[in-house]
Amino acid sequence: QVQLVESGGGLVQAGGSLRLSCAASARTFSSYTMGWFRQAPGKEREFVAAIRWSGGATYYADSVKGRFTISRDNARNTASLQMNSLKPEDTAVYYCAVGTPAAARSRELYDYWGQGTQVTVSS
């Protein structure tokens, strides 16, 4: 079973930046997708960004496109989410997840989840 640990959450001012990292216990994710989801209080967990481990194809929610960048380090089984131009509406618990190669934006295709890291953006 894959174990995921998120880090990098915190409190930032609107317009600021933050970088989240997700470290996985598995040695390789050549046949998987790693994604980021977020959940604000009282809201459904929503897709943020994803990257296919093989090839590096990326997917973004419209709400973060142009501001967030997902990347991978295959050798370290680590995915990062660089978040720039943060807005108060980005405030949420951010979860790293691992899914099938076809997972992309589909929450139901992600099988492993981290514990989440809090991101708070103040006005």
Burial class (CB in 10 A: 0-12, 13-18, 19+), 123: exposed
**Which comes out higher in pLDDT, residue 114 or 1?**
114
Dihedral, CA of residue 30, residue 71, residue 104 and residue 101, to nearest 10: 0
φ, ψ at 122 (rounded to 5°): -95, 155
Q: State the pLDDT at residue 25.
A: 86
Chain-centroid distance, C-alpha 48? 6
Distance CA(52)–CA(1), nearest Å, equals 19
Q: How confident is the model at residue 29 (pLDDT cuts 50, 70, 90)?
A: low
Q: What pLDDT is stored for residue 6 in this prediction?
A: 95
